[in-house]
Each structure stands twice: as structure tokens, then as C-alpha cells.
């Protein structure tokens, strides 16, 4: 008996991500064999030109241009050799990532991971020696029950055959949530928060590292970690993130 075709995608109202029932798209609730249906992916996961070093979205006419950079990175180069962002942090990805990070929606991990894996393949990035998730504090780990970046990194490392050792990076001080602060205060908020595990620092010297986080906003956290790793003797640092928040004026 031939399979019945799936209904056409009808997106949910903007700003609202609905809870998913079995067999439904998380975004539009049409019947789908995937957590996010092909129609919603076509609407909301289109490739975007991005800054080579911070993944800020650039004008569409720069799509395909080699190593484009935003004005901020041209003025002051960040400590990252490259940043890959799979998505813009806007509907529906902002709601989905908030569910994943704060409400234990671990069933979304594979769909989010697939977006990042696709972006990495399209960018033809060089495989790093280490894939390290951004660490969370012990207080935040107790609060959430898991480190959302660790969950992503562990699964991505298996998929791409990378070494993932989350214990190599430590968060040694509990700080305020970056989301609670104005952009200009975020660099100070993460200064001195991280450390390389001293017993294993020698394993990182001379290596290449990719840092993995779920969302990149100002870049302060990833820049702080990249600077720490470079001072430890790491040769190059990339950042891989699921989503990048829009720069002012992008809306």
C-alpha cells in the first residue's frame, strides 16, 4: 500500500514554538517523520553569509566570498581563527534552544546537532585535535541537571570522530548569567572565570581546539576561553555554535 503524503508545512505563529507530539514537527505541528520538518528547515535554516572569525551575519551579496569579515573583526581581530554558526538566533531556533537549555528538552539535541554538522560540512572545516564544550559552573549544573554544550559536543565528537575531553576546561568561579547583562559588561563578567585543568595542560600544547557552545551573542565567553587556550600553548582555536544572535541593525 503506497505511503500517504505528508501534509504541507504551515508554520506556527511567529514567536511561538508549540510543544511537539509524536510524529509532529516541533515548529509547525504538521505530521513529520523528523523533529523539524523539511518545510520548516527550508524556511528557517537557509545558508547565510557570515563573518569568518565571529560568524556575524553579513549582506547576502557576500555569500560565497572567501573569508569575509565584519567591520568589528577587521578593526580588532578576535582570538578565534574561525567561527561556524549554523543558524540565526531567531524564530524558531531561539525558542527551541531555550527549551533545550533550560527545560530539559533533550529530544531536540539531534535536530540541533544536525544543523551544526551540516554547517561544518558545508564550510569544510579542518578537524581539530580537540573538541571542548564551554564548561558550566557546579551551581548551574545542579540547577539544570546537565551541561547543554557538553551534550552537543559529546554527540558531535562521536559523529565526526573527534576527541572530546570536557574536563580539560574548568569554570572556577560562578558568575552572573551573560543574558542578564548589557553587551558591554559581558567581557568583564567572564574574566578569570575559566581555567585549563593543570594536570592535563601539556596535552593541549601545540594542538588545535574547537570550542562548542549552543549560542554566541557578544562572543565574550568564547573569546575569553580562546585567549586562555592560546596562552596555554594551543596553536589555533575555532568556535562552533548552533546559533548566533543578530548584530544590532540586522533585524
Q: Each residue of 108-156: pLDDT tens digit? A: 888 899 999 999 999 999 999 999 999 987 777 787 777 889 989 999 9
What the block records as the C-alpha cell of 181 is 547583562
Is residue 35 located within the same domain as residue 140? no
- Looking at the fold, whether 29 and 53 belong to one and the same domain comes out as no
21-30 tens-digit pLDDT: 557 888 998 8
> What are the residues whose beta carbons fall under 8 Å from the beta carbon of 250, sequence distance 6 or more?
57
Do 58 and 108 share a domain, yes or no?
yes
**Can you give the residue range of the structural domain that contains 236?**
47-244
Q: Are strands 169-171 and 82-88 parallel, antiparallel or unpaired?
A: unpaired
Over 70: is that where the pLDDT of 175 sits?
Answer: no
Using CA atoms, how far apart are residues 205 and 235, in angstroms rounded to an integer? 7
CATH number of residue 181's parent domain: 3.40.50.2020
Same domain, 101 and 216: yes
β-pairing, 236-244 vs 82-88, is: parallel
Q: Specify the number of domains making up the chain.
A: 2
Tell me which residue of 149, 142, 144, 143 sits closest to 166, measured CA to CA. 149
Residue 250 lies in a domain: no
Q: Are residues 39 and 61 in the same domain?
A: no
Amino acid at each position: 500500500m503506497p505511503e500517504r503524503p505528508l501534509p504541507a508545512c504551515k508554520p506556527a505563529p511567529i514567536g511561538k514554538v508549540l510543544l511537539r507530539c509524536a510524529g509532529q514537527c516541533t515548529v509547525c505541528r504538521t505530521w513529520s517523520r523528523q523533529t523539524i520538518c523539511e518545510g520548516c528547515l527550508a524556511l528557517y535554516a537557509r545558508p547565510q553569509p557570515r563573518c569568518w572569525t565571529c560568524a556575524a551575519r553579513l549582506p547576502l551579496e557576500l555569500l560565497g566570498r572567501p573569508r569575509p569579515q565584519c567591520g568589528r573583526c577587521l578593526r580588532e581581530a578576535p582570538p578565534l581563527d574561525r567561527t561556524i554558526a549554523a543558524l540565526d538566533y531567531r524564530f524558531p531556533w531561539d525558542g527551541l534552544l531555550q527549551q533545550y537549555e533550560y527545560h530539559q528538552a533533550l529530544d531536540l539535541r539531534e535536530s540541533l546537532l544536525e544543523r551544526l554538522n551540516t554547517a561544518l560540512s558545508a564550510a569544510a572545516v579542518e578537524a581539530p585535535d580537540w573538541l571542548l564544550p564551554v564548561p558550566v559552573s557546579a551551581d548551574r549544573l545542579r540547577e539544570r541537571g546537565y551541561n547543554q554544550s557538553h551534550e552537543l559536543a559529546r554527540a558531535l565528537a562521536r559523529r565526526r570522530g573527534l576527541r572530546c575531553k570536557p574536563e580539560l576546561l574548568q569554570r572556577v568561579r560562578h558568575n552572573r548569567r551573560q543574558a542578564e547583562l548589557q553587551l558591554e559588561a559581558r567581557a568583564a563578567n567572564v574574566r578569570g572565570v575559566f581555567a585549563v585543568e593543570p594536570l592535563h595542560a601539556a596535552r593541549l600544547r601545540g594542538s588545535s581546539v574547537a570550542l562548542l557552545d549552543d549560542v554566541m551573542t557578544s562572543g565574550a565567553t568564547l573569546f575569553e576561553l580562546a585567549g586562555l587556550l592560546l596562552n596555554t600553548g594551543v596553536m589555533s582555536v575555532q568556535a562552533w555554535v548552533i546559533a548566533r544572535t543578530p548584530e544590532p541593525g540586522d533585524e
